[in-house]
Amino acid sequence: MANATKLTPMMQQYQAVKDQYPDAFLMYRLGDFYELFNEDAIKGSQILELTLTSRNRNSKDPIPMCGVPHRAVQNYVDILVDRGYKVAICEQMEDPKLAKGMVKRSVTQLITPGTRTESGVENAKNNNYLTALVYDDQTKQYGFAYAELSTGELKTSQLGTVDTIINEALSLQTKEVVVDAKVSDALVQRFTKLGILVSHQDEIKSMAETSYLTEGLPSAVQKRSVAILLTYITETQKRDLAHLQRAVAYEPSAFLKMDHNSQYNLELTQNIRTKKKSGTLLWLLDNTKTAMGGRKLKRWLVRPLIDRQTITNRQNAVAELLNHYFERSQLTDALVKVYDLERLAGRVAFGSVNGRDLIQLKTSLDQIPQIKYCLGQLDQKILGPIDAHLEPVDDVSRLIEAAIVDEPPISVTEGGIIKDGYSHQLDQYRDAMQNGKQWLAELETRERKATGINNLKIGYNHVFGYYIEVTKVNLGKLPKDRYQRKQTLTNAERFSTPELKERESLILEAQEKSKSLEYELFVEVRDQVKKSIQRLQRLADAVSTLDVLQSFANVSEEYRLVRPELNDAHDLEIIDGRHPVVEKVMGRQSYVPNDVKMNSDTNVLLITGPNMSGKSTYMRQLALTVVMTQIGCFVPAKSAKMPIFDQIFTRIGAADDLISGESTFMVEMKESNQALQQATPNSLILFDELGRGTATYDGMALAQSIIEYVHNYIHAKTLFSTHYHELTALDQELAQLKNVHVGASEKNGELVFLHKVEPGAADKSYGIHVAKIAGLPAPLLQRADVILKDLEAHASPIESQPQATLAATPKPAPASKSGDADGQLALFAEPDRTPRTEPMSKNDQRILNELAQTDLMSLTPMDVMNRVYEWKRRLKK
């Protein structure tokens, strides 16, 4: 950086501002441009594709510079903020023409990824959450808070572990987290790795006017997290935040827990390939008519309920709306006309509403009576509570109706906003302007007569004001004395007369006064509306809930969804269930419905079947049905009995955690571990081909021991798909495990997928067939066939791999498959796989019995080693 003493006064001013915002791009207003200097200019010119120039080009230290026109600044700010940068807007605080010396400048707003509110139509159904995190080393607890600036939503929670924090942050899709100094560097780095901008704010500014926002919060860390968040918001926004709602404390455990990976794998709100909404459950369920309804649906989807009564309430409402087609369609007709009340209320608070926003607000409010009328036709026991929250706020509607014209301009300072008859003074100015116009028309007629020039006309422009225009050919006809030349064009000249000049100033004065009076009146109306922000927010809340429920009803009708029956008995029975998104994409005719039956006597379904047969689809189908049930929606099935799950764990697909730089297998093991550590008997676990990411034996051994562990110790409802056919023999050992398989058949050597899930294990894996479908070279496939036959003939080591289980109380060894008594032992013995023909000795029999009675889970690996060593020694005898 150049030496400060050599800087021009302007650059000194710049540098002083920049020093306050070292981590932001500083957009520095110079006349009609915002300029970036130095490092900002070099980096900014690359990102924004601007030409890099320099100031003091001829000096020894030219200063890199680039600029954007002030009218277009928003686009450039958006690009930078989208990329995760902060942008400080530095304005001229006085009119440069009137300023003595340096024009005063200061930063009016710091726009950051989490505080941005000006977002386009495509963001209407998304929230932009700013989050904050503080740590208390006494209680070892974190306070976590989040706010949505455009709607005023403010929530906080107390969290105990880093994993839950990361999960919350990812679920909210926050782009920025504000942390205090006690949050560890390691955690800061994790946020950064996840692409979340970390901002530091350690000091809390006392804010008398916002202190009510934190009233009644249950813990000190929660209060502090909200206070840090509010301080950061006030420091950066420098504007009125009257619409922020009182902070609400929430408990993540009050919702169905799904870690971020599961949300991602199940494609609830964004699809895995493009990260967009298309092809997701949200995409399927979103029939909301308002932007705020759309945002609420998204929130519900990532936070399904666990409270049976609330789920039932939602179901009742969906059923009632579903059964009343006529009222429902009247309701949706009204909802379509409701604009984004939440964000309109936010803009009212910020002072950034214009006339069009107010008309949108009024149009929205005008729908409330119709909405209430529709609800009045429905069962009040069910919809009464929503109806009660729909307060019309018609005083605001009446005010806007009286004050604002039906089609106001975008600008609030150029006039044309306020209705005639609203202000006597304004009407007078308007009369004067109107009279003036009348007078001008008369003048035109008079002058035409006096000069005999028929195409003489009176016009107006910003620079020269009112003029009389005469074409060049007619100039000779003009009287010399009265006409004073103002402007010369190619074909005409423009003049004024003393009479016209006098009138002009009267008209312009009336115009000027009328414009500024209109602005004053507009601000008065806006301030009046501001007093109703809380009522508007309550209304928005009720309308958006209703919108989501009608969306569920519409979707239920369209996709033939049924109301799931809830039970507390761990019974799960879905008849003819479907994966709603796959079904929608492939068409109703082609989708094969499937049952899922897991009553209290079944905890694990082991799913086998060829590649591509539909194993993952079947598992996802169940998870989506659970989510749909617990958000209160109906589900894709002929009938469904559902328990209420507390958590969902998934290990599906190969979602490599590229960011953390861990291998697929490592991620797989970590995710499995999460499930094993945290799942309860009320949880749902989906393991898709667990273990395939490592050597066959390791993979299979892990898969089996994980199944046994889940079966014996966790008792969570678990779906486990696998290509290890050997595992299917586990149903002999594990009472609550059932085999199912997805059918396929061979026709003339071609594989036909049936997509039907049937009881029992698959007889065959059709890997080579699938490879053929994928178009691998024929000689390669023939060779694979030969190798396979050879392996099968020699009973591959895997096939003869014996079954030993971790069962807490092992049942007698099964006679089926390879799991005979010898087999059991072989896992612990030398790899001697020759079948025994001699009858067993007493000694051997005793060892076997001991083995059968050994509870492996209660032993350390060392104990096991010792025992095996001992058995081997006795066997040798």
Ligand X SMILES: Nc1ncnc2c1ncn2[C@@H]1O[C@H](COP(=O)(O)OP(=O)(O)OP(=O)(O)O)[C@@H](O)[C@H]1O
| Residue 496 lies near ligand X (rule: CB under 6 A) | no
**Smallest distance, ligand X to C-beta of residue 639, A:** 17
Which C-beta is closer to ligand X: that of 102 or that of 586?
586
Which C-beta is closer to ligand X: that of 545 or that of 616?
616
**Smallest distance, ligand X to C-beta of residue 178, A:** 41
**Smallest distance, ligand X to C-beta of residue 694, A:** 17
Residue 577 annotated as binding? no
Which range, of 54-62, 105-113, 432-440, 608-616, touches ligand X by CB under 6 A?
Answer: 608-616
CB of 612 closer than 8 Å to CB of 754: no
Helix (H) or strand (E) holding 609: none
Phi, psi angles (nearest 5°) of residue 64: -60, 140
Closest C-alpha among 332, 382, 321, 379 to residue 563: 321
Residue 225 annotated as binding? no
The residue within the footprint of ligand X, chosen from 115, 245, 537, 613 (CB under 6 A), is: 613
**Smallest distance, ligand X to C-beta of residue 592, A:** 4
**Smallest distance, ligand X to C-beta of residue 594, A:** 6
Which C-beta is closer to ligand X: that of 232 or that of 649?
649
Could you tell me which residues are beta bridge partners of residue 198? 177
Closest C-alpha among 199, 224, 65, 215 to residue 135: 224
| Residue 615 lies near ligand X (rule: CB under 6 A) | yes
Tell me how long the chain is. 877
CB of 164 closer than 8 Å to CB of 209: no
Which C-beta is closer to ligand X: that of 614 or that of 823?
614
**Smallest distance, ligand X to C-beta of residue 607, A:** 8
The residue within the footprint of ligand X, chosen from 44, 294, 614, 823 (CB under 6 A), is: 614
The residue within the footprint of ligand X, chosen from 616, 625, 672, 704 (CB under 6 A), is: 616
- CA–CA distance, 350 with 188 (Å, rounded to integer): 31
* Residues 140-179 within binding reach of ligand X (CB under 6 A): none
Residue 10 annotated as binding? no
Which C-beta is closer to ligand X: that of 450 or that of 585?
585
The residue behind tokens 């960011």 is 659
Which C-beta is closer to ligand X: that of 715 or that of 755?
755
Which C-beta is closer to ligand X: that of 47 or that of 586?
586
The 580-599 site mask, x for binding ligand X (CB under 6 A), equals --x---x---xxx-x-----
The separation between CA 22 and the C-alpha centre of its own chain, rounded to angstroms, equals 30
- CA–CA distance, 232 with 208 (Å, rounded to integer): 15
* Residues 747-806 within binding reach of ligand X (CB under 6 A): 755
| Residue 650 lies near ligand X (rule: CB under 6 A) | no
- CA–CA distance, 405 with 426 (Å, rounded to integer): 14
Which C-beta is closer to ligand X: that of 239 or that of 756?
756
Residue 643 annotated as binding? no
* Residues 562-581 within binding reach of ligand X (CB under 6 A): none
Residue 610 annotated as binding? yes
Amino acid in position 579: H
What does the angle CA 180 – CA 186 – CA 190 come to, to the nearest 5 degrees?
95
CB of 598 closer than 8 Å to CB of 717: yes
**338: three-class secondary structure by DSSP:** coil
Supply 527's token pair. Answer: 């301030």
Which C-beta is closer to ligand X: that of 112 or that of 594?
594
The residue within the footprint of ligand X, chosen from 115, 280, 617, 732 (CB under 6 A), is: 617
Q: Which residues contact 681 (CB under 8 A, 6 or more apart)?
A: 570, 714, 715, 716
Could you tell me which residues are beta bridge partners of residue 484? 496
- CA–CA distance, 493 with 507 (Å, rounded to integer): 23
**Smallest distance, ligand X to C-beta of residue 785, A:** 19
| Count of residues in contact with ligand X, rule CB under 6 A | 15
- CA–CA distance, 104 with 13 (Å, rounded to integer): 9
CB of 171 closer than 8 Å to CB of 260: yes
Supply 8's token pair. Answer: 């021009």
Closest C-alpha among 18, 236, 242, 229 to residue 109: 236
Nearest residue to the partner ligand X, using Cβ: 614
| Residue 691 lies near ligand X (rule: CB under 6 A) | no
**Smallest distance, ligand X to C-beta of residue 293, A:** 31
| Residue 612 lies near ligand X (rule: CB under 6 A) | yes
Q: Which residues contribute to the annotated binding site for ATP?
A: 609-616
Residues at the interface with ligand X (CB under 6 A) = 582, 586, 590-592, 594, 609, 611-617, 755
